[in-house]
Structure 1
C-alpha cells in the first residue's frame, strides 16, 4: 500500500486530515507534518527525510503551496532519495486531493496516486454559476 505524507505550513495538513477523517471515517497510514513559525528548517527537513526513509512501499508527499518551505523541503528530500526510494511530490493540495488519495492508496501505486492527485486537483476547482435557463 502506498504511503501518504501531507506537509504544510502551520496546521493545514493536520486539519485537512482531520476533516477527511470526519467525512470518510477512520483510516491509518497517513502522516502529517506542519511547519510552524518557530521551527528550524533543517529540523523540518529531517522530519520529512525520516518519513521518506520509513516508507517501504513508496511515498506520495502532498504539499500546500508551490515554492513554499514545505514544498522546497519535500522536493529536497525527493532529490536526495529518488535513486533509492519511490517518492513523488505534488503541490497545491486541497481536501478533494487528500480524500481521493486516501481512498485509493490501497489500489494504486505511488506514481498512479500522483497522477490521480493532479487530475483531481485540476477538476476540483469550480466556479458557482446559476443556470438561468432552469427555473
Structure 2
C-alpha cells in the first residue's frame, strides 16, 4: 500500500492532516512532518527518513514549496533511497491532499502524481475571473 508524507514549513503539514481528517475521515497512511525553525536540511531529512523507515510500500512526499527546504530534503532522501519508490511533489494544498486521499487506495503513486499535476491547474480560481466567465457565457 502507498503512503503519503506531508512536509511543510511550521505546522502546516500537521494541520493539513487535521483538515484532511475533518473532511475525509481517518487518514492512517498520511504522515505529517513539521519543518521547525531550529531544523536544517539535514535534520529535516532525518525526520523524513524516520517516517519512511516506519512504512512499507511506495511513498508520495508532498511538500509545500518548490525548492524550499522541505522539498529539497525530500528530493535528497528520494535520491539516497533509489530502491524505494518515492515520488516528490510540491504545491501542497487541501484540494490536492483530498484528491490524493481519494485515490491512494486504488492507484499506484505514479498515476496519482499525473492526476494531481493535471488537477493542480484547476485548484486556483479567481472570483472575478469566474464572474467574467459567467458574463461571457450569458452573452451567447
Structure 1, unaligned runs of 5 or more: none
Number of equivalent positions = 133
- CA deviations 1:32-52 (Å, max 9, x no partner) are 101011224322111112223
Q: Who is 2:90 aligned against?
A: 91
Q: Who is 2:71 aligned against?
A: 71
- CA deviations 1:7-30 (Å, max 9, x no partner) are 000011111111111111222111
Higher percent of residues as helix? 2
Q: Who is 1:49 aligned against?
A: 49
Q: Who is 1:28 aligned against?
A: 28
Length-normalised TM-score, structure 2: 0.87
**Do structure 1's residue 13 and structure 2's residue 43 form an aligned pair?**
no
Greater mean deviation of Cα atoms: 115-124 or 10-19? 115-124
Larger relative contact order, structure 1 or 2 (CA cutoff 8 Å, min sep 6): 1
Length-normalised TM-score, structure 1: 0.90
| Structure 1 segments (4+ residues) deviating >6 Å | none
Computing the radius of gyration over CA atoms, which structure comes out larger, 1 or 2? 2
Greater mean deviation of Cα atoms: 100-109 or 118-127? 118-127
Contact kept in structure 1, 2:20 and 2:27, CA below 8 Å: no
Contact kept in structure 2, 1:2 and 1:58, CA below 8 Å: yes
**Do structure 1's residue 115 and structure 2's residue 131 form an aligned pair?**
no
Return the alpha-carbon distance in structure 2 between the equivalents of residues 95 and 44 of structure 1.
22
User: How much does 1:107 deviate?
Assistant: 0.3
Contact kept in structure 1, 2:64 and 2:90, CA below 8 Å: yes
Q: CA RMSD of the aligned region, Å?
A: 1.5
Secondary structure, in 3 states, of the residue corresponding to 1:56? coil
